[in-house]
Chain A
């Protein structure tokens, strides 16, 4: 999941909840406010109604026309007409009850004369004479304010159904919900756009970093802003350039190092070869001559000079042993068996030789290797094996070895597996260069000289598996070195 999706996943529910809560709070507060307004409004209308009635009643006395019998009826008639004109919203109205609860005036003429004296709310009206009333009328809840007009014994009631009081709010309810929904959608859209704007440069950075990881250090991120992302891009670009310079320097150093290593190893092999040749040709010949001279000298000894003969024989034996040692050293220095018999035989010889000196056994599966690799490469392979087996026997104290070579596509995969004590490879890698020794490094360098790489899998108590590959050109008998 991308970051902006996560961001959206987090912010959108919060926004939606916030909007819904806001809508609810708005609705609730509006409802309270409307109730207060309605009360105030009804009170105002009621005051107006009382004023109208009072004015009519006062008019009679003010002009001394109370002697007109129909005058009071006229005043009451006028008062009712005036009350009919008092509007309370669209459904609210003012009506009049007499002292017994009979409706004297109502905007709906058919209700005039209706008794309400038996209703529970009228008892309250009758008792309080002035106040607020919540009641049901014709199946609908109403809010009302009422007052008593003493001269005519009238209860004046200003009322409005709750449906109308909250009517606008109920309409607003759907509006608020819609607003929350559309608000969420808009916020989502906004967040998507914003996160895209924020994370697009980041994604560019990620892609660039991936390219850097893949070695493409020429990458340059376009800088579109001066904010933190812009700075980050700028720093990234600088870093990539710097990295490229360092990498180039490193590569040059590495190449030089590899060159030196390979030269060193080559020199080492040459030197070994020279020493081996010198030992073989000079020391070996000398020892052989020496041996012949001792034999000749022995043969020239009186037969009875047993002691000298014996010493000559011992000397010959010693010279043979020395010659053998020289030969061994020569073989060790330059495994001529590779030249003579091939890599597989050389490795076989090496194993057998080790079996003589150490308590180990080995399974070897090295078929067709000789045909594929040149002698120089076989020597490198041999050296890797030699170092690996030496490590297995000397350090891992392995008793069992498995050597194999398999061909896959265009490479040979050599593996040496032992049942030794293994080691913590990270620990070894963490050692200083001096502590680490040259064994592993030499093997890696030789593998690199072969054009392949080496891999070691090991852990303490679990033996060690060393594998290295050697590329082979298709159709080539010996491949390249």
Chain B
């Protein structure tokens, strides 16, 4: 779905925006962040797929409940007064939410203050469940919502879901973000949130500015705004923060790069969850990977240890199942090895399989890869390993957003994707349910494999109320994925960020679903630094 938000298309010089902001926020610091992509894809949280898009969504929007900033293991009420308990009404599971009072949407110039109502929340969830307007619509199947009062609304979930599955759907993640669609003076669609920062159009090619939302319901942000700079080159980002042109940058998961920060006394490195898992997804609908022998040949040619070398020791950890072992249903190395599904590197066997598939001489394929270092490293390593069985990958480097767009149009027969999903159902549904098949699915998401072999298992697991059985079903689903070599699990890695020691995020960081340290109303920089003059 094309982006109808005019914000990113705007070309107004950033200096003008900064000047306007400076008049308003003369006393408060603006945090400068160097990000690893060259542009954003969308400001619509329901379509945010890349890390950068998720970062923006986190700052602009709220959910009914939220993962605690810096600690995604804990949930707490956000827009809602409290986290409700499910109630069975006429055989159907219902969840009733009551909204807090005095929550205001971000206020743009010339517009009146607009407070949040249950109707706004309801409309947002209708949008999230609409495959035409949301990338996460598949997650809301069987869920309906009605307004029951000015600040109350009720979800009906049929078949019932466990809190583990349902609550993330109404949290500050993916379709759970509450967004209000309005039209500006020029008749253009504008998306508004209730978060601590909001977007001031237009950005330029170098950076994007977010303004503090003074009527933020948790309190006026300590920061005047967040200035996000596009710096895809890791060395440039490092130079920028060393030169005090940045306050926070996205780090590079690479030992040599990190070594360069070691001696910088005013810089701090934060490594935290959630961990993103990298898997190799084979397109099982088209030759040559429609042949299981070819997929297995590729799997036997891959050595996941070699992938770790490009990152350096200790930063990245191998995984042996698509869902990482720290999540429910994730399988451990010893278990996968005991079942003989680890596909330990065996070139001879790989060649034999290729020969059996009639591809003794191999084949060639074109593949796009992201400018983001971890992606490009992985693709280059894979290229080298597949070359041993005569599979030639022609790599094409593109910006991160372009890569996301192209791989969703089946450009790559093999996709290496880094992702985190809040729960196993979300993970399996988004990557392996037929409804999430890219370009052809009912709610296209990230089923790059065009696979439908575990649809039933995903569905019955989703409906299973006994957690232990649910987990076991997820495990069997993954065993089937591995048995049919739909996906080859590579590794998972933590988020790496570098900040100046004057930056205080306002919370400790253990893990964040937003894939960045999270800037909230409490985030600040030491006084008299980087204030706009």
Contacts and interface: CB of A to CB of B under 8 A. Distances in A.
Contacts of A65: 457, 476, 480
A76 B469 CA distance: 16
A77 B332 CA distance: 12
Given A77-B335, A77-B338, A71 B479 contact: yes
Contacts of A78: 472
Contact of B469 (A59, A64, A68, A71): A59
Contacts of A64: 456
B340 A74 contact: no
Given A59-B469, A68-B480, A69-B483, A74 B475 contact: yes
A137 interface: no
A380 B335 CA distance: 131
A61 interface: no
A279 B476 CA distance: 157
A73 interface: yes
A341 interface: no
B475 to A, nearest CB: 7
Contacts of A74: 335, 339, 475-476, 479
Contacts of B482: 70
Interface of B is mostly: helix
B17 interface: no
B341 interface: yes
A70 to B, nearest CB: 5
B469 A70 contact: no
A77 B456 CA distance: 23
Contacts of A59: 469, 472
A333 to B, nearest CB: 138
A432 to B, nearest CB: 114
A64 B459 CA distance: 13
A25 to B, nearest CB: 48
What DSSP secondary structure best describes chain A's contact surface?
A: helix
Contact of A70 (B339, B457, B460): B339
Most buried by B among A63, A64, A71: A63
B311 to A, nearest CB: 30
B47 to A, nearest CB: 34
A71 B338 contact: no
A111 B341 CA distance: 24
A427 to B, nearest CB: 111
Interface string A44-70: 000000000000000100011100111
Q: Among the interface residues B335, B338, B457, which one has the most CB atoms of the partner chain A within 10 A? A: B338
Nearest to B338: A77
Nearest to B341: A70
Interface string B443-483: 00000000000001100100000000100110110011011
B83 to A, nearest CB: 31
Interface residues of B, number: 17
A474 B479 CA distance: 132
A135 to B, nearest CB: 29
A70 B479 contact: yes
B45 to A, nearest CB: 35
Nearest to B482: A70
Contacts of A70: 339-341, 479, 482-483
Interface residues of A, number: 12
Contacts of B341: 70
Nearest to B469: A59
A103 B335 CA distance: 19
Interface in B464-506: 469, 472-473, 475-476, 479-480, 482-483
Interface in B297-348: 335, 338-341
A71 to B, nearest CB: 6
Given A68-B480, A68-B483, A74-B479, A63 B339 contact: no
Interface in A56-102: 59, 63-65, 68-71, 73-74, 77-78
Contact of B473 (A63, A69, A73, A77): A63
B457 A73 contact: no
A384 B247 CA distance: 147
B420 to A, nearest CB: 25
Nearest to A73: B339
Contacts of A68: 476, 479-480, 483
Contacts of A71: 476, 479-480
Contacts of B338: 73, 77
Q: Quick one: which of A65, A69, A74 has the most chain B CB within 10 A?
A: A74
A445 B469 CA distance: 123
B460 to A, nearest CB: 6
Contacts of B469: 59
Contacts of B472: 59, 78
Nearest to B457: A65
Interface in A462-479: none
B457, B472, B475, B483: residue with the most chain A Cβ atoms closer than 10 Å: B472
A37 to B, nearest CB: 31
Nearest to B334: A77
Contacts of A73: 338-340
A78 B482 CA distance: 17
Nearest to A62: B469
Contacts of A69: 483
A63 B479 contact: no
A69 B482 CA distance: 11
Contacts of B476: 63, 65, 68, 71, 74
A74 B474 CA distance: 12
20 contacts: A59-B469, A59-B472, A63-B457, A63-B473, A65-B457, A65-B480, A68-B476, A68-B480, A69-B483, A70-B339, A70-B482, A71-B476, A71-B479, A73-B338, A73-B339, A73-B340, A74-B335, A74-B479, A77-B335, A77-B339
Interface of A: 59, 63-65, 68-71, 73-74, 77-78
Given A59-B469, A68-B480, 10 more contacts: A59-B472, A63-B460, A65-B476, A65-B480, A68-B476, A68-B483, A70-B340, A71-B476, A73-B338, A78-B472
